């Protein structure tokens, strides 16, 4: 095979025409993100005023919440449309969407990954249950985030007497990838990365449309140096290589061998006692032997830390949407990497699992919960957050456990196994959520078990609304709990006291 051109980042992005739809690979804060290409593309626009009318298409968050990732290209006049699964890691891009600077959409991350496969296969689109009765459903918002977003990207269809959502294929003109190693023929390997992501599907999608694939790589080796089983994207789908020796596993970590299976991590830090740990402990009480679970970003990943400390980790199978089975998910902006994974697959395969059979249990966060039991994680106070894999995962899980603080900016003390509020917070349990990311009606229809765990109380999804089933020791229903709720929940016939032991160091 002819050797692939090795270009500078500026030379590579000079090949991108105005009006292109650009698929951005990787995820989160530097996980196989083509950051050098995004930076060069932003510099090109700021220096020359082109390219313009671009569409960016990405399943996960892309940035570090400050100045990287999509922040490089968050330029008014450069963008026509963004279709993103998650937005909060690129705050300027989210703000421009809120200001109607371009058309803005949010679709589930797994759906976007499947749309890469659909484009690669020349399929007209992807039909799935994912998104029904959430804000992605065209009967609600159809995934539209602002007034500029007028085109329908989601259709409601019926087949075999059931409702489905149909997502038409979005052709990919340019795929921007991040890979660990390339050979001079353009074969890409992810051997040192925390996951292989969805690079091959993106490159195939670009090839199917006659487009362009540009790959940023940490190293380039002679042709034939990569074992064929390690090649994740064949070189025939890659048009040019850009060398970036500073490309790390994440923006924070250059290389940790325990992220990619080259070593085992044994020196885990203790999970410090506090409000977060108390909530994670109560949520972890729902773990079942042999369960395949998913944990979300933020507080829910503490459930795995609790399981590890209590000797339960070997009795469950943890997964996250980025492709890892087993192990311990890294917290914070490192989320997407996993220490000591048992298996690492491409994101498309993981989403096949989530969207098909579904996990036994998923542990997820929340921004708002309403009286009916709906949950919002995607938009609050006019601020766009996005969903990532939240909808893909939650709609097929047998049991869903939402974990989070009862209210915003409360001051809470845990003393002598009792919870005490020094200052009450603003309710997160409200009469009606700002946006439906998890549909209580859909959960009832499919027979899901749903719990809502906070430090003060535990609620469950009832036939019509959520029900209070547990209250923390030291918390008074009238003086502590009720003032921090936006509605009066119904109560189970017997309200239990949350176990005292979860509130001790």
Burial pattern 232-268, b for ≥16 Cβ within 10 A else e, equals bbbbebbbbbbbbeebbbbbebeebebbbbeeeeeee
Q: Cα torsion for 248, 250, 256, 261, to the nearest 10°?
A: -100
Of the listed 71, 321, 346, 467, which one is catalytic? Answer: 321
DSSP class per residue in 444-470: HHHT-EEEEE-SSEEEEE-SSSEEEEE
- 220, 243 Cβ separation under 8 angstroms: yes
128, containing H or E segment: strand 125-128
CA angle 142, 143, 149 (to 5 degrees): 90
Write down the residue that tokens 């603080």 correspond to: 405
Distances (CA, A) of 124 to 116, 120, 129, 131, 170: 11, 11, 17, 19, 9
Distances (CA, A) of 358 to 160, 439, 441, 452: 21, 16, 18, 20
- 55, 21 Cβ separation under 8 angstroms: yes
Phi, psi of 112 (to 5 degrees): -65, -45
Write down the residue that tokens 């390690």 correspond to: 230
Residue 119: name the closest of 173, 155, 172 by CA.
172
Phi, psi of 407 (to 5 degrees): -145, 175
The token pair that represents 39 in the structure block? 């930076």
Cis peptide before 60 (omega within 30 of 0): no
Rg of the chain taking only CA atoms, in angstroms: 23
Q: Cα torsion for 168, 320, 446, 288, to the nearest 10°?
A: 170
- 182, 188 Cβ separation under 8 angstroms: yes
Burial pattern 33-48, b for ≥16 Cβ within 10 A else e, equals bbbbbbbbbbebbeee
The residues that bridge with 426 in the sheet, in sequence order, are: 408
Phi, psi of 266 (to 5 degrees): -125, -15
Write down the residue that tokens 């539209």 correspond to: 144
The strand ranges marked E within 253-302 are 292-295
Question: Residue 323, Cα to own-chain centre: how many angstroms?
Answer: 12
Active-site annotation holds for 321: yes
The residues that bridge with 81 in the sheet, in sequence order, are: 55, 103
- Active-site residue list: 321
């Amino acid at each position: 095979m002819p050797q692939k051109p090795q270009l500078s980042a500026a030379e590579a992005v000079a090949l991108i025409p105005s009006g292109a739809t650009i698929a951005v690979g990787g995820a989160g804060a530097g996980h196989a993100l083509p950051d050098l290409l995004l930076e060069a593309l932003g510099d090109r626009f700021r220096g020359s005023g082109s390219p313009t009318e671009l569409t960016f298409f990405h399943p996960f968050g892309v940035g570090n919440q400050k100045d990287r990732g999509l922040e490089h290209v968050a330029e008014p006049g450069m963008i026509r449309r963004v279709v993103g699964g998650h937005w909060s890691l690129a705050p300027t891009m989210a703000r421009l969407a809120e200001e109607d600077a371009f058309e803005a959409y949010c679709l589930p991350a797994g759906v976007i990954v499947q749309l890469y496969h659909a484009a690669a296969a020349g399929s007209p689109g992807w039909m799935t249950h994912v998104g029904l009765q959430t804000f992605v459903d065209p009967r609600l918002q159809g995934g539209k985030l602002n007034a500029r977003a007028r085109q329908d990207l989601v259709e409601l269809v019926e087949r075999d007497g059931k409702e489905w959502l149909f997502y038409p294929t979005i052709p990919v003109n340019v795929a921007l990838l991040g890979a660990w190693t390339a050979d001079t023929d353009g074969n890409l390997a992810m051997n040192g990365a925390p996951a292989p992501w969805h690079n091959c599907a993106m490159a195939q999608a670009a090839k199917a449309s006659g487009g362009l694939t540009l790959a940023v790589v940490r190293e380039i080796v002679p042709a034939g140096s990569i074992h064929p089983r390690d090649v994740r994207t064949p070189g025939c789908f890659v048009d040019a290589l850009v060398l970036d020796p500073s490309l790390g596993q994440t923006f924070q970590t250059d290389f940790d061998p325990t992220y990619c299976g080259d070593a085992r991590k044994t020196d885990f830090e203790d999970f410090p006692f506090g409000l977060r740990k108390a909530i994670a402990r109560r949520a972890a009480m729902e773990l079942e032997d042999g369960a395949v679970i998913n944990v979300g970003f933020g507080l829910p990943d503490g459930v795995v830390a609790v399981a590890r400390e209590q000797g339960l980790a070997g009795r469950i199978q943890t997964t996250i949407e980025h492709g890892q089975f087993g192990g311990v998910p890294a917290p914070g902006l490192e989320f997407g990497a996993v220490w000591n994974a048992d298996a690492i697959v491409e994101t498309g395969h993981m989403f096949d699992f989530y969207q098909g059979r579904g996990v036994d249990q998923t542990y997820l966060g929340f921004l708002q919960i309403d009286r009916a039991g709906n949950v919002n994680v995607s938009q609050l106070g006019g601020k766009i957050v996005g969903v990532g894999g939240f909808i893909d995962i939650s709609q097929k899980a047998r049991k869903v456990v939402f974990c989070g603080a009862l209210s915003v900016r409360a001051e809470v003390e845990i003393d002598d196994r009792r919870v005490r509020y020094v200052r009450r917070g603003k309710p997160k349990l409200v009469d009606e959520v700002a946006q439906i990311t998890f549909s209580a009606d859909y959960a009832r229809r499919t027979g899901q078990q749903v719990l809502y765990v906070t430090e003060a109380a535990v609620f469950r999804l009832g036939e019509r609304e959520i029900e209070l089933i547990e209250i923390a020791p030291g918390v008074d229903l009238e003086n502590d709990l009720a003032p921090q709720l936006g509605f009066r929940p119904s109560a189970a016939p017997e309200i239990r006291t949350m176990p005292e032991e979860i509130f001790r160091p």
